[in-house]
Each structure stands twice: as structure tokens, then as C-alpha cells.
Chain A
Amino acid sequence: AQSVAQPEDQVNVAEGNPLTVKCTYSVSGNPYLFWYVQYPNRGLQFLLKYITGDNLVKGSYGFEAEFNKSQTSFHLKKPSALVSDSALYFCAVRDTSGGSYIPTFGRGTSLIVHP
């Protein structure tokens, strides 16, 4: 079975500081991992994904994520936060070793960037 956890309901960071939104996962085989962002009253937008290869994945709007197989984590990062980054962030995972081929989403982390 596949599962994903976002241990923080909310992350607060000052504008200009680095930000990290945490995600851990559990799969039987190898994971496909995704990050999405949801702005208020909008649908989810794809940010980036890890399939294979380099552990550091770069995505939209200056975001990047680091895949760590030993820690089963896929944390989202940005070197310098903007107030406009304030949104709800979702991590999703799909197990490549069979079972469901539909990704499982985490519960979401609200990122608040303070001016």
C-alpha cells in the first residue's frame, strides 16, 4: 500500500528566508513523487515531480525538492520565500510496484509567508 504524510499543518516563514515543506512517504517498491500548490479558491497546480535520476528536482516558481530514499522523504524547498508563495501545498505519491496506479495525496500544508 502507498501512503504519504505531511507532518506540519502549517508552516510560517518570513519573506526572504528559506522555506521547507515536509513530506514523507511509504511504498512497497519505488516511488513517483509529486508536489502541487493550491492558491485560495483555485484548483491544484503541478509544481514538480521525482521519477528517477537526480535526487534534487527543480520545478516551477523557483521551487525544488530533494528525494531522500533512506529517509523516505521528499521535502519541498525554496531558497528565498515570497509573500505570493503563501498557499496550500500537497505532496502525492504513487508506488511503481503494482497496486493502485492512482496517486495518494497528503492532507496538505498551509504555507504562510510574512512580509
Chain B
Amino acid sequence: NAGVTQTPKFQVLKTGQSMTLQCAQDMNHNSMYWYRQDPGMGLRLIYYSASEGTTDKGEVPNGYNVSRLNKREFSLRLESAAPSQTSVYFCASSPGTGGSYEQYFGPGTRLTVT
């Protein structure tokens, strides 16, 4: 099993450009998440999808949109990139939300916005 995969691994954008970060999991998990990681800030939740067909905002959703394409795939879109969105983005999945489930993380996408 590949676990959680993310594409691309690296991306450089200019201010105002758009892009979509892709995430897929092959563990038949119901729940998927997008986080950003910034130095000294830890992990901050952007959006999550408790189950196929549902999405909800997390702590820092402004400037982002998501799509739960099917049970396997959960994409994150930046419509008009800003330098403040320079970060490392992680996708994660878990069997469900709540409960005692731990999360499984992808390798990350390192995004730079100039």
C-alpha cells in the first residue's frame, strides 16, 4: 500500500496564480484532512472531509477551497496565491473522525509564492 500520496512535491507560484494540490489514499479511510505547517506554528487545519460528500472548514480556511472527489481523493485549491500561503502542505487521512483514530500523513508539498 502506498498510504497517502501527494502531488506535486514542490511548487513555485507567482502571486495571483492558481493551483491545485492533489491527495489520494488507498487505505479505504472515510476522513481526510489538509494542514499547513509553518515554522513555530505547528500544524494548522485548513479543511477536512469527515466522509465522502462532505467538507468543513478548519482553523485557517481563507484563500483555499477543497473538493472531495471520491472516497480516495481530496484536493486543495488556491485560487489566487499570496505570499502568505508559502508553506508546507500536508494531507492526512483516518478511518473516521473523532474517536481514538490516529491520522496518516502524506509526504507534503512545499509551496513557495513569490
Separation of A103 and B78 alpha carbons in the complex (Å): 24
Query: B43 — nearest CB in chain A belongs to which residue?
Result: A105
Query: How many A-B pairs with Cβ below 8 Å?
Result: 47
Query: Per DSSP, are chain B's interface residues mostly helix, strand or loop, or mixed?
Result: loop
Bits for A65-98, please: 1 = Cβ < 8 Å to B, else 0: 0000000000000000000000000100010000
CB distance from B23 to the nearest CB of A (A): 11
Question: Are B42 and A107 neighbours in the complex by a CB distance under 8 Å?
Answer: yes
B65 at the interface (CB under 8 A from A): no
Question: Are A46 and B104 neighbours in the complex by a CB distance under 8 Å?
Answer: yes
Q: Given A90-B43, A107-B40, do A43 and B4 touch, yes or no (CB 8 Å)? A: yes
Question: Which residues from chain A contact B100 at a C-beta distance below 8 Å?
Answer: 32, 49, 51
Separation of A14 and B29 alpha carbons in the complex (Å): 40
Select B42's contact among A32, A43, A108, beta carbons within 8 Å.
A108
Q: Given A43-B4, A90-B42, A107-B42, do A102 and B90 touch, yes or no (CB 8 Å)? A: no
Question: Are A105 and B42 neighbours in the complex by a CB distance under 8 Å?
Answer: yes
Select A43's contact among B41, B98, B107, beta carbons within 8 Å.
B107
Most-contacted residue by chain A among B42, B45, B58, B97 (CB, 10 A): B42
Question: Are A102 and B48 neighbours in the complex by a CB distance under 8 Å?
Answer: yes
Query: B104 — nearest CB in chain A belongs to which residue?
Result: A46
Q: Given A107-B40, A107-B42, do A102 and B33 touch, yes or no (CB 8 Å)? A: yes
Separation of A36 and B106 alpha carbons in the complex (Å): 13
Question: Are A46 and B4 neighbours in the complex by a CB distance under 8 Å?
Answer: no
Query: B110 — nearest CB in chain A belongs to which residue?
Result: A41
Separation of A103 and B108 alpha carbons in the complex (Å): 19
